Amino acid sequence: DIQMTQSPSSLSASIGDRVTITCRASQSISTFLNWYQQKPGKAPRFLIYEASILQSGVPSRFSGSGSGTDFALTISSLHPEDFATYYCQQSYSTPTFGPGTKVDIK
């Protein structure tokens, strides 16, 4: 199995802050990396696929980057609705998720 790690596990930020979450794979996965947002009591929402392509309807303040083993999700300016937990997921082999990064209000 390909193991996924994320850092930080949690962060506190303010409205308008630029936030970057990193995701690392235990082996190269090219750009087979997706990002999801989950709010309490809700199913995950699909945000970004193939490392950097925004799903339709996702605000442009979200962006993804990376290839190989190291990836990042950036929110350029935090909005109130962005406080949530974010997960990465690799699809290079049988799917695995990162442990999540919780973004909460400072």
Contact letters for other proteins, residues 77-106 (x by CB under 8 A): ----------x-x-x--xxxxxxx------
Alpha helix stretches (DSSP H) within the chain: none
CB of 16 to other proteins, least distance (A): 28
22 binds other proteins (CB under 8 A): no
Q: Please state, in angstroms and rounded to a whole number, the distance separating the CA atoms of residues 69 and 104.
A: 26
CB of 50 to other proteins, least distance (A): 7
Out of 49, 52, 65, 68, point to the residue binding other proteins (CB under 8 A): 49
Cα dihedral sign, 94-95-98-99: negative
CB of 84 to other proteins, least distance (A): 13
CA-to-CA separations, 79 to 4, 7, 68, 82, in angstroms, rounded = 27, 21, 30, 5
The C-alpha angle with vertex 85 and arms to 79 and 88, in degrees rounded to 5, equals 110
Judged by the rule CB under 8 A, the positions of this chain that interact with other proteins are 1, 32, 34, 36, 42-44, 46, 49-50, 55, 87, 89, 91, 94-100
